[in-house]
């Protein structure tokens, strides 16, 4: 989860999020270069006299056409690479469904057993010590770590969005439509997210919690849940 007054991304816990953070750093460096240039040009303009006799400037026109094209290529290439990488769904080990309701999530694990449960936010008055306000839920999404997971997201009533910043996942939940996304958690842990599409009065109170555990713990959890 994010710390108080956190400005940057959360630590990446999936390969896609690592790539997104790398691309973000790259884009910021390009932005720094451009801002430095613009700042310098602005300073120069402030010191120039306002009279100008320039009627024709072919060289500078060439420069300020080619340079932005180069900048766009520098940004577009890694961006497209990550975009296509995000769309790869490579033989997932587990498929689960997330259904958005007003105002909770339902998760279905139907690969091996018929496991279905609802996930409601834990009210602030019922939080245990050490738990996070407006982020904890009664039933977490437990997944095996370092395994490709496919998640199919939909909604039953209005638009919702299933998002986990630390994993780089955000998928719209649209009634009547199945949206697919996949991710791999690189380490065990608990990852928090919140509904990311306005869906009514309690839009801010339907969080998502993903618990990534070793496979043995996941098997143990699923056997307890199914019994």
Partner 1 sequence: QSFKLLGFLDVKSVPCARESVLYGSLGSLVVGLGHFLATSRVRRSCDFAVGGFICTMLGYWFYCRYNLAQHRIRQRMLKEGMRNKILFEGSSLDPERKQTGDERSDS
Residue numbers of the site for partner 1 (CB under 8 A)?
8, 18, 22, 25-26, 28-33, 35-37, 40
Minimum gap (Å) between residue 58 Cβ and partner 1: 19
Minimum CB separation of residue 151 from partner 1 in Å reads 23
Q: How far is the CB of 24 from partner 1 (least distance, A)?
A: 9
In the complex with partner 1, the residue whose CB is nearer, 26 or 97, is 26
Q: How many CB atoms lie within 10 A of CB 158?
A: 17
Question: 22 vs 87, which CB is nearer to partner 1?
Answer: 22
60 burial via Cβ count (<10 Å: 0-12, 13-18, 19+): exposed
Between 24 and 177, whose beta carbon lies closer to partner 1?
A: 24
Which position has the token pair 């910043």? Answer: 165
Q: Least Å distance between CB 70 and partner 1?
A: 10
Nearer to partner 1, 30 or 89 (CB): 30
Report the candidate in 139, 99, 105 with the shortest Cα–Cα distance to residue 122. 139
Q: Which is nearer to partner 1, 166 or 206 (CB)?
A: 166
CB of 29 to partner 1, least distance (A): 5
């Amino acid at each position: 989860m994010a710390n108080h007054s956190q400005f940057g991304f959360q630590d990446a816990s999936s390969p896609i999020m690592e790539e997104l953070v790398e691309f973000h750093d790259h884009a910021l460096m390009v932005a720094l270069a451009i801002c430095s240039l613009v700042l310098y040009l602005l300073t120069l303009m402030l010191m120039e006299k306002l009279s100008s006799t320039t009627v024709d400037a072919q060289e500078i026109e060439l420069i300020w056409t080619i340079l932005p094209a180069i900048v766009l290529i520098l940004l577009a290439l890694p961006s497209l690479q990550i975009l296509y990488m995000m769309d790869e769904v490579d033989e997932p080990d587990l498929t689960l469904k997330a259904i958005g309701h007003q105002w909770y999530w339902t998760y279905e694990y139907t690969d091996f057993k018929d496991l279905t449960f609802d996930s409601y936010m834990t009210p602030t008055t019922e939080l245990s010590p050490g738990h996070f306000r407006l982020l904890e839920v009664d039933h977490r999404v437990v997944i095996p770590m370092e395994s490709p997971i496919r998640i199919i997201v939909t909604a039953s009533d209005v638009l919702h969005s299933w998002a986990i910043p630390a994993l780089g996942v955000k998928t719209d939940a649209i009634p009547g439509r199945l949206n697919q996304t996949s991710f791999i958690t690189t380490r065990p842990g608990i990852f928090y997210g919140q509904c990311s599409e306005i869906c009514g009065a309690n839009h801010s109170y339907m969080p998502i919690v993903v618990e990534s555990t070793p496979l043995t713990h996941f098997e143990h959890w699923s056997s307890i849940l199914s019994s």
